[in-house]
Amino acid sequence: MDIQPYTTTETLGFGRRWLMNTFGSRTNLSITLDLTAFDETLHWVEGSAKQPERKLKSGIPLGLNTTTGLYEPYAAVTNEVQTATITGGPTGGTFTLTYSGQTTAAIAYNATAAAVQTALENLSNVNPGDIKVTGNAGGPYTLTFGGQYLGDNVAQISATASLTGGSTPGVTMATTTAGGTATASDGTQKFAGFLYAEESFYPGATKCGAALMRFGQVDVSYLPVAFDPADIPAGSNTNIIFEKSK
Protein backbone atom coordinates (compact mmCIF):
# COMPACT_ATOMS: atom_id res chain seq x y z
CA MET A 1 0.00 0.00 0.00
CA ASP A 2 1.10 3.57 -0.58
CA ILE A 3 0.84 6.82 1.31
CA GLN A 4 0.51 10.15 -0.42
CA PRO A 5 1.85 13.53 0.74
CA TYR A 6 -0.67 15.93 2.22
CA THR A 7 -0.82 19.48 0.93
CA THR A 8 -2.75 22.52 2.16
CA THR A 9 -2.39 24.58 -1.00
CA GLU A 10 -4.79 22.63 -3.20
CA THR A 11 -7.93 24.45 -4.35
CA LEU A 12 -10.10 21.55 -5.53
CA GLY A 13 -12.91 20.83 -3.10
CA PHE A 14 -12.24 23.94 -0.95
CA GLY A 15 -8.77 22.80 0.05
CA ARG A 16 -9.61 19.08 -0.13
CA ARG A 17 -7.92 17.80 -3.26
CA TRP A 18 -9.05 14.25 -2.47
CA LEU A 19 -12.68 15.37 -2.75
CA MET A 20 -13.42 15.40 -6.46
CA ASN A 21 -16.90 16.89 -6.30
CA THR A 22 -18.50 18.75 -3.38
CA PHE A 23 -21.98 18.45 -4.88
CA GLY A 24 -23.85 15.49 -3.46
CA SER A 25 -21.36 14.95 -0.63
CA ARG A 26 -23.15 13.83 2.49
CA THR A 27 -21.66 15.21 5.70
CA ASN A 28 -24.80 15.31 7.79
CA LEU A 29 -23.35 13.17 10.57
CA SER A 30 -21.73 15.08 13.43
CA ILE A 31 -19.27 12.88 15.27
CA THR A 32 -16.76 13.03 18.13
CA LEU A 33 -13.16 12.03 17.54
CA ASP A 34 -10.89 10.28 20.04
CA LEU A 35 -7.78 12.41 19.55
CA THR A 36 -5.63 10.00 21.56
CA ALA A 37 -6.00 7.43 18.76
CA PHE A 38 -4.46 9.61 16.03
CA ASP A 39 -0.78 9.56 15.12
CA GLU A 40 1.20 12.81 14.94
CA THR A 41 3.28 11.61 11.99
CA LEU A 42 0.37 10.55 9.80
CA HIS A 43 -2.69 12.44 10.92
CA TRP A 44 -2.01 15.99 11.98
CA VAL A 45 -0.02 19.12 11.20
CA GLU A 46 1.87 20.54 14.19
CA GLY A 47 1.24 24.13 15.25
CA SER A 48 3.80 26.82 16.09
CA ALA A 49 4.83 28.62 19.27
CA LYS A 50 2.48 31.49 18.43
CA GLN A 51 -0.30 29.26 17.18
CA PRO A 52 0.06 25.96 19.08
CA GLU A 53 -3.15 24.40 17.85
CA ARG A 54 -2.73 21.30 15.72
CA LYS A 55 -4.80 20.45 12.65
CA LEU A 56 -6.09 16.99 11.84
CA LYS A 57 -5.88 16.44 8.09
CA SER A 58 -9.11 16.20 6.18
CA GLY A 59 -9.75 12.93 4.35
CA ILE A 60 -8.61 10.58 7.12
CA PRO A 61 -10.59 7.29 6.83
CA LEU A 62 -12.49 6.70 10.08
CA GLY A 63 -14.12 3.87 11.99
CA LEU A 64 -16.41 3.89 15.03
CA ASN A 65 -15.07 2.36 18.24
CA THR A 66 -18.16 0.61 19.51
CA THR A 67 -16.77 0.49 23.06
CA THR A 68 -16.12 4.22 23.49
CA GLY A 69 -18.63 5.52 20.97
CA LEU A 70 -15.88 7.72 19.50
CA TYR A 71 -14.43 7.76 16.01
CA GLU A 72 -10.81 6.75 15.37
CA PRO A 73 -8.61 6.10 12.32
CA TYR A 74 -9.98 3.20 10.31
CA ALA A 75 -8.03 0.10 11.34
CA ALA A 76 -7.89 -1.51 7.92
CA VAL A 77 -4.44 -2.92 8.38
CA THR A 78 -1.84 -3.84 10.96
CA ASN A 79 1.47 -2.01 10.80
CA GLU A 80 4.63 -4.06 11.12
CA VAL A 81 6.64 -3.63 14.32
CA GLN A 82 10.28 -4.70 14.67
CA THR A 83 12.72 -4.36 17.55
CA ALA A 84 16.46 -3.73 17.69
CA THR A 85 18.15 -4.82 20.93
CA ILE A 86 21.80 -4.14 21.73
CA THR A 87 23.19 -7.06 23.68
CA GLY A 88 26.38 -7.70 25.62
CA GLY A 89 26.60 -4.31 27.35
CA PRO A 90 28.96 -2.49 24.96
CA THR A 91 30.74 0.65 26.11
CA GLY A 92 31.59 2.01 22.69
CA GLY A 93 31.45 1.43 18.96
CA THR A 94 28.71 1.64 16.36
CA PHE A 95 26.23 -0.42 14.39
CA THR A 96 24.41 -0.11 11.09
CA LEU A 97 20.93 -1.13 9.97
CA THR A 98 20.11 -2.45 6.51
CA TYR A 99 16.62 -2.30 5.04
CA SER A 100 15.81 -3.69 1.62
CA GLY A 101 19.38 -3.38 0.35
CA GLN A 102 20.07 0.09 1.79
CA THR A 103 22.43 0.51 4.76
CA THR A 104 22.53 3.39 7.24
CA ALA A 105 25.56 5.36 8.26
CA ALA A 106 27.20 4.24 11.51
CA ILE A 107 24.95 4.65 14.56
CA ALA A 108 26.47 5.11 18.03
CA TYR A 109 26.04 2.25 20.51
CA ASN A 110 24.14 4.61 22.85
CA ALA A 111 22.18 6.51 20.20
CA THR A 112 18.80 7.99 20.99
CA ALA A 113 15.70 6.68 19.26
CA ALA A 114 15.53 9.96 17.33
CA ALA A 115 19.08 9.42 16.04
CA VAL A 116 18.23 5.90 14.87
CA GLN A 117 15.10 7.20 13.13
CA THR A 118 17.12 9.93 11.40
CA ALA A 119 19.67 7.37 10.21
CA LEU A 120 16.88 5.27 8.69
CA GLU A 121 15.19 8.29 7.09
CA ASN A 122 18.47 9.14 5.36
CA LEU A 123 18.09 5.95 3.31
CA SER A 124 16.82 6.38 -0.23
CA ASN A 125 13.93 3.97 0.39
CA VAL A 126 12.72 5.47 3.67
CA ASN A 127 10.79 8.74 3.85
CA PRO A 128 9.84 10.68 7.00
CA GLY A 129 6.94 8.82 8.60
CA ASP A 130 7.87 5.46 7.06
CA ILE A 131 9.54 4.11 10.22
CA LYS A 132 8.89 5.56 13.67
CA VAL A 133 11.55 4.66 16.26
CA THR A 134 10.89 4.76 20.01
CA GLY A 135 12.80 3.57 23.06
CA ASN A 136 15.56 4.64 25.42
CA ALA A 137 19.04 5.73 24.37
CA GLY A 138 21.02 2.58 23.78
CA GLY A 139 17.85 0.62 23.13
CA PRO A 140 15.99 -1.56 22.93
CA TYR A 141 14.39 0.30 20.04
CA THR A 142 10.90 -0.28 18.66
CA LEU A 143 10.55 0.35 14.91
CA THR A 144 6.96 0.85 13.73
CA PHE A 145 6.37 0.97 9.99
CA GLY A 146 3.91 3.37 8.38
CA GLY A 147 3.90 5.83 5.50
CA GLN A 148 4.51 4.04 2.22
CA TYR A 149 4.82 0.77 4.18
CA LEU A 150 1.49 1.18 5.97
CA GLY A 151 -0.02 -2.28 6.44
CA ASP A 152 2.74 -4.05 4.53
CA ASN A 153 4.42 -7.25 5.64
CA VAL A 154 7.89 -5.83 5.08
CA ALA A 155 11.31 -7.48 5.07
CA GLN A 156 13.04 -7.65 8.41
CA ILE A 157 15.77 -5.08 8.99
CA SER A 158 19.23 -6.57 9.57
CA ALA A 159 22.01 -5.18 11.74
CA THR A 160 25.80 -5.20 11.54
CA ALA A 161 27.64 -4.44 14.77
CA SER A 162 31.06 -2.87 15.30
CA LEU A 163 30.68 -2.57 19.05
CA THR A 164 33.39 -2.53 21.71
CA GLY A 165 33.53 -3.40 25.39
CA GLY A 166 31.09 -5.53 27.27
CA SER A 167 30.74 -9.24 26.64
CA THR A 168 30.39 -10.29 22.98
CA PRO A 169 28.22 -7.26 22.12
CA GLY A 170 25.84 -7.37 19.19
CA VAL A 171 22.49 -6.22 17.86
CA THR A 172 19.50 -8.58 17.73
CA MET A 173 16.62 -7.83 15.35
CA ALA A 174 13.14 -9.32 15.71
CA THR A 175 9.69 -8.89 14.18
CA THR A 176 7.14 -8.61 16.99
CA THR A 177 4.12 -7.75 14.84
CA ALA A 178 3.89 -8.71 11.16
CA GLY A 179 2.19 -6.17 8.92
CA GLY A 180 -0.94 -7.23 7.11
CA THR A 181 -4.68 -7.44 7.48
CA ALA A 182 -6.78 -5.89 10.22
CA THR A 183 -6.75 -7.38 13.69
CA ALA A 184 -8.94 -4.80 15.40
CA SER A 185 -12.22 -6.06 16.87
CA ASP A 186 -13.47 -2.85 18.51
CA GLY A 187 -15.45 -1.67 15.49
CA THR A 188 -12.71 0.45 13.92
CA GLN A 189 -12.05 -2.34 11.42
CA LYS A 190 -15.31 -1.31 9.71
CA PHE A 191 -14.93 1.72 7.46
CA ALA A 192 -17.39 4.50 8.36
CA GLY A 193 -16.39 7.44 6.15
CA PHE A 194 -13.87 10.24 5.78
CA LEU A 195 -13.08 13.21 8.00
CA TYR A 196 -14.63 15.95 5.91
CA ALA A 197 -12.63 18.99 7.00
CA GLU A 198 -9.48 19.90 8.89
CA GLU A 199 -10.14 20.00 12.63
CA SER A 200 -8.07 22.15 14.98
CA PHE A 201 -7.24 21.09 18.53
CA TYR A 202 -4.78 22.11 21.23
CA PRO A 203 -2.09 19.84 22.70
CA GLY A 204 -3.55 17.88 25.59
CA ALA A 205 -7.07 17.73 24.15
CA THR A 206 -8.54 14.23 24.03
CA LYS A 207 -11.72 14.80 22.01
CA CYS A 208 -13.11 17.12 19.36
CA GLY A 209 -16.20 17.36 17.20
CA ALA A 210 -16.09 16.77 13.45
CA ALA A 211 -18.17 16.02 10.36
CA LEU A 212 -18.14 12.59 8.73
CA MET A 213 -18.43 12.29 4.94
CA ARG A 214 -20.26 9.08 4.05
CA PHE A 215 -20.93 9.67 0.37
CA GLY A 216 -18.95 11.48 -2.27
CA GLN A 217 -16.57 11.30 -5.18
CA VAL A 218 -13.08 10.61 -3.88
CA ASP A 219 -9.64 10.30 -5.47
CA VAL A 220 -7.88 7.92 -3.08
CA SER A 221 -4.42 8.89 -4.33
CA TYR A 222 -4.74 12.30 -2.64
CA LEU A 223 -5.92 11.09 0.76
CA PRO A 224 -3.53 11.94 3.63
CA VAL A 225 -3.02 8.26 4.50
CA ALA A 226 -3.09 5.07 2.49
CA PHE A 227 -6.52 3.71 1.70
CA ASP A 228 -7.48 0.83 -0.53
CA PRO A 229 -11.19 0.54 -1.39
CA ALA A 230 -10.71 -3.23 -1.37
CA ASP A 231 -10.08 -2.98 2.37
CA ILE A 232 -13.70 -2.09 3.04
CA PRO A 233 -15.22 -5.13 4.79
CA ALA A 234 -18.04 -6.98 3.07
CA GLY A 235 -21.41 -5.70 4.25
CA SER A 236 -20.13 -2.24 5.12
CA ASN A 237 -22.88 0.37 4.95
CA THR A 238 -20.75 2.56 2.68
CA ASN A 239 -21.52 4.22 -0.61
CA ILE A 240 -18.39 5.91 -1.98
CA ILE A 241 -17.49 6.58 -5.59
CA PHE A 242 -13.74 6.29 -6.19
CA GLU A 243 -11.67 7.75 -8.99
CA LYS A 244 -8.07 7.16 -9.96
CA SER A 245 -5.66 10.03 -10.50
CA LYS A 246 -5.38 11.09 -14.09
Per-residue pLDDT tens digits for 47-62:
777 888 899 999 999 9
CA 113 – CA 137 distance, rounded (Å): 6
pLDDT for the residue numbered 189: 83
Poorest-pLDDT segment among 5-9, 132-136, 208-212: 5-9
Contacts of 1 (CB under 8 A, 6+ apart): 77, 148, 149, 150, 151, 152, 226, 228
- Percent of the chain's residues with pLDDT above 90: 50
To the nearest whole number, what is the mean pLDDT of the chain? 83
**Angle at Cα 220 formed by Cα 63 and Cα 213, nearest 5°?**
45
Which whole number is the average pLDDT over 15-34? Answer: 77
- pLDDT tens digits, 227-246: 766 666 565 555 566 554 43
Sign of CA dihedral 116, 204, 226, 14: negative
Which whole number is the average pLDDT over 7-12? Answer: 38
pLDDT for the residue numbered 210: 94
pLDDT for the residue numbered 15: 60
pLDDT for the residue numbered 137: 96
CA 90 – CA 86 distance, rounded (Å): 8
43: pLDDT strictly greater than 80: yes
pLDDT for the residue numbered 4: 37
- pLDDT tens digits, 191-218: 888 999 899 999 999 999 999 988 777 8
Q: pTM above 0.95?
A: no
CA 100 – CA 80 distance, rounded (Å): 15
CA 31 – CA 70 distance, rounded (Å): 7
